[in-house]
Amino acid sequence: MRGMQSIRYSASLIEIANDRIRPRMLIQNLPGCLTGTLLVASPALTEAGFRRSVVFLFAHSPDGAMGLIVNRALRTGSALRHLRDSGVAGESTDPRPLHIGGPLDRARCLLLHSDDYHAVENTVRTPVGLGVTASDDALHAVANGRGPENWLLARGHAAWAPGQLEQELNEGAWLTAPALDWTIFRCDDNLKWPAALRGLGIAPEGLSAQMGRA
């Protein structure tokens, strides 16, 4: 499971507490590091909650990995409506939806965004110009139209224990793809999975559910 068995580990990789998020160790530029890439579920991955998912990986190291699912929007109103219901008032009418970022810590919102927004101590930055911020200031900025140009608000996150993601990759559960702004922020959620596959030159309808198990 991508989450429940990783709760104990994840606090050692990324600290998420109160309105802060910061790496506890170097998570970029390591050999084989996948920070800043998309994980695209293969048909071999049938686990509930991750089937046909697209995950932005914002931390990856020998200590494990963390990411946000970017194609699971809630159908309970916009992200800004959720913020208002949570006490974060604002004047923006942006219709972007609230997403479920993963099975862990769903009471907390994380903001995935372009690098035109800076919250130095509360942002984990990636090599592809995207950051993840856990900050009340960031939520207020989004609610009032003063946030980044590109953003996605998610409740919860996904996490992998040391070696777990590598094993799943070897088993064919995931494909890796470039983290394109268009795929993450502009594409309809129901089109992100096939779009990510087609970006790799793969026709979704041609994939075998036994991929990686031969």
CA-CA distance, 62 to 31, in Å (whole number)? 10
Q: Cβ atoms within 10 A of the Cβ of 136, count?
A: 13
Q: Give me the pLDDT at residue 119, please.
A: 61
Give 4-206's CATH code, choosing from 3.40.50.720, 3.40.50.300, 3.40.1740.10, 3.40.190.10: 3.40.1740.10
Between 175 and 203, where is the model more confident? 175
Q: What is the token pair recorded at 157? A: 């996150």
pLDDT band at 44 (very low <50, low <70, confident <90, very high): confident
Give the integer Cα–Cα distance in Å for 178 and 201: 12
User: Could you write out the DSSP letters of every residue in 27-54?
Assistant: -SS-TT--TTEEEEE-TT---TTTTT-E
pLDDT one-digit tens code per residue, 144-174:
888 889 999 999 999 999 999 999 999 999 9
pTM to 2 decimal places: 0.83
| DSSP bridge pairs for 166 | none
